[in-house]
A and B are shown apart, each in its own frame.
Chain A
């Protein structure tokens, strides 16, 4: 009996020694850790990795199509999207906020600023010519204002508007639009009539499939439409005009006589917040330029500054912070700021 117990103890010690050695070779704090959550519950089977299992040798022959992407996903609005003569290449990919960088790398930071929830994307390829393909990406931004925001900051000035979703534009054969909480990119491999037609078909089909709760965008209605240059409104969640204190700010371009004027507008959660922002703006004007004047009334405060030959005029009215920036002429800047102020009556 003593011998049996002794042998058991020795085997146990040897086993502990082996375990210590194994753990020492592998950096995994979870090795041998008991996961309490697995006790008493059934767990879904671990999904096997999808996609082709590639061998190790270098590619020496020309491939004709790209193989399937990494993860299976719910196709949703991208299901059966390919127009006649086109087919889906591989599977629909899906990325969450955590994995978004796996698709768009450093650009993910911008989308995360706008609270991107999910990206689903796919590629459609021309059955007659595999070199022609169309990338389709649908970003679920969570809320219409966020979809509008990321749409607006990526939009290049001067591109023709296109009637898709709530707002859209075309760049050669590419289409971009936002509708409800969704921001959509349809990007073909090149220019050309075939790609342009297919891209447009895809855009129209997709647009019909996406829902829109109709939530209005405050800045689009608050910024006056008179003299506003179409397609120039942008919404910045952070760093509007590269100023770190300007958050949740709308910017638009206006044609004032012969001059283009950049106006901005932000609605803060409280008057105190608005006052703080104005104080920051004033410090910025003092530190990097010169404050030319400050007008305070019961209704508003207006500060004008000279930023090395370009003029800013910024005001606070209730919870609103607004104004114009980098205007060549002081009188135009002040006039434009006051016009904006007047137009905002009742919008704070």
Chain B
């Protein structure tokens, strides 16, 4: 081999080696695979906008309504708070998130009372909402849950669409909580939503003591969400980070007093005949816990959320009303 040829080949080899090393150094990432993908997911993650509605100072923040007719109760309660028109405007796309977690009949109190859901959906339609979507990501098979709970029928009778969870409907969402930073969520219903209303039953829960309006949003999580059961109070306190709803309804028309969250005995259900409508989930749940005959001072997730400035347990210091319907 001639010297020139040798130098050429060595030079080319050296260039190849140097480029490879430089390329590898440039591509090198010290993070673990899980960390890398978590970071990437986080960058792709959506953020839910705030669905909160600003109202005039002095507006009623919470209405406690007693009665037996859910539609009448909703109208009366929202009337005390300024009327549905203050929250829902013509052309709004409203997502209503009930609790349809289990394939249980409505009488057992494990899911949202379909009559309450229907009332909320009807009022939204009356206020001029362009579309009302009812959505949840149940624990059990979605079709069975929506059917057996009566929610499907109630939604359709009120002119709402039922959106069932499909794999493609889940996206990572930035939550920014203490435990939940970014997590897969049933996002599709919220893509075009301009208003969001949570409608949650008031029920016993064997892990966190009570499932009410804050816990209701757990039902939007995807993936292996049961892994959070060991930190359930912290996770529940993360939900007001994730979502700022237009308002929430605590459905205490029936109250599952024992053996929650699934229930199973009519004897565990008491007639609560109450709806609590409010813009502060912490306040609503603080009052709601007393309907279970329990002391809100002992419910950890309320105080965690309050400490983080996500609401107040001192509902009596807020502007609230209690009314009785016929």
Interface residues of A (CB under 8 A from B): 27, 29, 51, 54, 56, 58-63, 65-67, 69-70, 90, 101-110, 123, 133, 135, 154, 156, 158-159, 171-172, 174, 176, 185, 187-191
Contacts and interface: CB of A to CB of B under 8 A. Distances in A.
Contacts of B267: 156, 158-159, 171-172
B266 interface: yes
Contacts of A65: 147
Interface stretch (B148-156, B178-186, B190-198, B272-280): B148-156
Contact of B162 (A59, A90, A154, A172): A59
B147 A191 contact: no
B200 interface: no
B261 interface: yes
B56 to A, nearest CB: 36
B207 A189 contact: no
Contact of A59 (B105, B139, B152, B226): B152
B164 A54 contact: yes
Contact of A62 (B141, B144, B152): B152
A60 B266 contact: no
Given A62-B153, A101-B139, A104-B139, 8 more contacts: A29-B33, A56-B168, A59-B161, A67-B143, A70-B141, A133-B148, A174-B266, A185-B264
Contacts of B208: 106
A167 B3 CA distance: 98
B208 to A, nearest CB: 8
B262 A189 contact: no
A108 B227 CA distance: 12
Contacts of B140: 69, 102-103
B206 interface: yes
A156 B258 contact: yes
A199 to B, nearest CB: 12
Contact of B161 (A60, A123, A176): A60
B261 A60 contact: no
Interface residues of B, number: 46
Contacts of A106: 205-208, 226, 229, 232, 261
B139 A103 contact: yes
Nearest to A90: B144
B133 interface: yes
Contacts of B103: 66, 123, 135
Contacts of A108: 226
Nearest to A153: B259
Given A107-B262, A159-B267, A191-B266, A62 B105 contact: no
A189 B205 CA distance: 21
Given A66-B148, A107-B206, A174 B264 contact: yes
Interface string B99-121: 00111110110000000000000
B144 A101 contact: no
Contact of A104 (B205, B262, B265): B262
Interface in B74-109: 101-105, 107-108
Nearest to A70: B141
A92 to B, nearest CB: 13
B306 interface: no
Contacts of A185: 264
Contacts of B300: none
Interface string B187-215: 00000000000000000011110000000
Interface in B134-174: 139-141, 143-144, 146-148, 152-153, 156, 161-164, 166, 168
B268 interface: yes
B159 to A, nearest CB: 10
A308 B191 CA distance: 55
Interface in B222-278: 226, 229, 232, 258-262, 264-268
A43 B228 CA distance: 34
Given A133-B148, A172-B267, A58 B162 contact: yes
3 nearest A-B residue pairs (beta carbon): A189-B105, A66-B144, A27-B37
